[in-house]
Amino acid sequence: MQESAAVHAFESEHEATSTGLPSTKLAMWIFLASDVLLFGALITSYVVYRGRSVVGPYPNDVFDIPYTSVSSFVLLASSLTMVLALSSIQRGDLPRMRLWLLATALLGMTFVGGQVYEFTTFYEEGLSLTTNLFGTTFYVLTGFHGTHVAIGILMLLSVFSLSFGGRVTQRDSLTVELVGLYWHFVDIVWIVIFTVVYLVPTGP
């Protein structure tokens, strides 16, 4: 422990910032604020075009709300395992952090897998990217979100693998926290998308 303290003494000296927040954390917050606008514009595009498709299939023809509710629950559950991963590393419990990180990634993969299955089903039911406005806006919005989740999974698995090489230790809990911030953000965005796209009725 003393040895690693010496290694990090230099870095912590540089961590004295004007706001007291670590620079990486501040950067992540500003990036996420920026990403809010990205999803804002995408969701706006979806909402503006709701109910304006001139040919089917329409949302009511393809949506399977119980199915998507389950996969939404899986994604939201992954926020819990993410919190557990962070709390493990903050306590210095590396094996448990690995376990929870892997659980988070697996839940995320389940969600993305579910999305792939959903897309395939919709496609077989005749809804492609170019069928109508609903297909266009639906696939682009949920696809952007799915890509965000996939990037998150990549980050989780990267931290997971790096932890075996000694690159992730109790002192690097900030790294896990940053991945967590991103992960929770992607989850929260899904709550909005799920509500706006699936739950709010479009009418006839």
Distance CA 111, CA 152 (A): 12
Indicate the residue among 66 and 203 with the shorter CB distance to other proteins. Answer: 203
Indicate the residue among 52 and 120 with the shorter CB distance to other proteins. Answer: 52
Which of 47, 76, 99, 140: binder of other proteins (CB under 8 A)?
140
Q: Does position 203 bind other proteins by CB under 8 A?
A: no
Q: Does position 30 bind other proteins by CB under 8 A?
A: yes
The alpha carbon of residue 75 and the mean position of all alpha carbons in its chain are separated, in whole angstroms, by 8
Q: Does position 167 bind other proteins by CB under 8 A?
A: yes
Looking at residue 199, the DSSP 8-state letter turns out to be I
- Which residues ranging from 48 to 107 are in contact with other proteins (CB under 8 A)? 48-49, 52-54, 92, 94
Q: What is the 3-state secondary structure (H, E, C) of 17-53?
A: CCCCCCHHHHHHHHHHHHHHHHHHHHHHHHHHCCCCC
* Amino acid letter, 200: V
Smallest distance from other proteins to CB 89, Å:
10
Q: Does position 41 bind other proteins by CB under 8 A?
A: yes
Which of 9, 18, 124, 203: binder of other proteins (CB under 8 A)?
18
Smallest distance from other proteins to CB 177, Å:
16
Q: Which long-range contacts (CB under 8 A, 24 or more apart) does 169-173 make?
A: 169/4, 169/92, 169/94, 170/89, 170/90, 170/91, 170/92, 170/94, 171/4, 171/8, 172/89, 173/86, 173/89, 173/90
Q: Which residues of this chain interact with other proteins, rule CB under 8 A?
A: 1, 3-4, 7, 10, 17-19, 21, 23, 26-27, 30-31, 33-35, 37-38, 40-42, 45, 48-49, 52-54, 92, 94, 129-130, 132-133, 136-137, 140, 158, 162, 165-167, 169-170
